Structure 1
């Protein structure tokens, strides 16, 4: 039987090893694809994967078992609970102008761009595509230079053909799509979740590994309901909050 393959982690001395391992494995379990196997590798295999002792691995697994995320069976192995999934996030709708304003006002560095196979985390938004254009940017405070968030955009290839990468240094993707490319943007759906900083996010945002961050997903639709762009942004948890104002009418 094939076993579930958890993500890797760079361990730090600032937190107990069992805690770091349990949180990393927890994130892997909650972020898994429905197609992933439920069986976990053995304690020895997991300990080798994370570079910790079997005793430390056992303590990490005990924590996840107490949460109800895994079940351990003698002689059969350890299995992910099929019902283990992220809590339903709050989804927020707002005006396109509000989204553009929220994304503006920061110094931006384009880290990379190109074409790639549709990643699993946004595959549901691009069922008709095998490949998307990708853009990875780092935004920083204009006055202090402190990194505030890093963003990945996944864009339909036919729209990306009309995008000048230099424009993404000056303006948010939403503005480029609407005002430069001329895309017919009908609505944007925002999803905000609390997450823990993975190694890449910790390095780019200069925060401790596994520190709290805001994980934002913004999906841009045209009038026909087709997804034009899926943005995945990681914000520093100590610099941002998300406020929503609802009218009574």
Structure 2
């Protein structure tokens, strides 16, 4: 006598996983187009026979995956394909994005001369409290806010930049074309941050939304620091990309100074 063995029956996935899977499939298949408004939470509760807490859990996971974003008081939207900038070359944001066919506009929120904070003075190699130009801007990518940027410049350069059309021009191009500065190199530090209320308002996102934070110090061709910036990008709309070569990494490691061990 033979006995047939059947595979054990797997438990059904939790309801929020099924909701998440259905929404993800709809987004990836194009049923929900980029930038389109998803059904309301109440509509999803009725559609899936779920509680609001369960629907919100599914939406939170999709937001963490970057597939959707929420706008306070407006609803939940399908994310646009992320714009990206390669960081293998020193370029301004508009310069890089225009090369990919995007339209860039800048909204100037603040521009004036202030005493340099300690960290800014140190970065620009100035005396603490020395006058610097401080520029606050929102960068609009295809008419949608994508980054909030704070820029500090030595006063003399800041006076030149202040006379430029900052709604349409990158600071880098103003420095090169109007101030006659030859740009050299920049150092970047990149990490994650959460939007505070002011940044959230500037970027039309919720407080606590994930941001890509970039700190960039740009030097001229002689190695003098001339531009210190903190850039806050919407995590659902932008990414940096770079190429890493093994040979370059190996060469860099070979010249690192030896450190004493304790």
Q: With structure 2 as the length reference, what TM-score do the two structures score?
A: 0.54
Query: 92-101 vs 208-217, which deviates more?
Result: 92-101
Contact preservation (8 Å) 1:213, 1:234:
yes
What is the Cα deviation at residue 241 of structure 1? 1.5
User: 2:122 is matched with which residue?
Assistant: 124
Distance 1:231 1:102, change over 3 A: farther
Distance between the aligned counterparts of 1:238 and 1:245, measured in 2? 22
What is the Cα deviation at residue 109 of structure 1? 1.2
Distance 1:182 1:94, change over 3 A: farther
Q: Secondary structure at the match of 1:170?
A: coil
| Structure 1 residue runs without a partner (length 5+) | 1-91
| Structure 2 residue runs without a partner (length 5+) | 1-85, 248-262
User: 2:137 is matched with which residue?
Assistant: 137
What is the Cα deviation at residue 140 of structure 1? 1.4
* RMSD of aligned alpha carbons: 2.3
Distance between the aligned counterparts of 1:223 and 1:207, measured in 2? 38
User: 2:90 is matched with which residue?
Assistant: 96
User: 1:212 is matched with which residue?
Assistant: 210
What is the Cα deviation at residue 94 of structure 1? 3.5
Distance between the aligned counterparts of 2:87 and 2:139, measured in 1? 23
Q: With structure 1 as the length reference, what TM-score do the two structures score?
A: 0.56
User: 1:147 is matched with which residue?
Assistant: 145
Distance between the aligned counterparts of 2:93 and 2:207, measured in 1? 29
Distance between the aligned counterparts of 1:127 and 1:191, measured in 2? 18
1:226 aligns with one of 219, 224, 227: 224
| 1:5-154 matched pairs, under 5 angstroms | 94-97=88-91, 101-102=95-96, 105-129=103-127, 130-142=130-142, 145-154=143-152
Matched residue pairs, number?
A: 156
Contact preservation (8 Å) 1:93, 1:188:
no
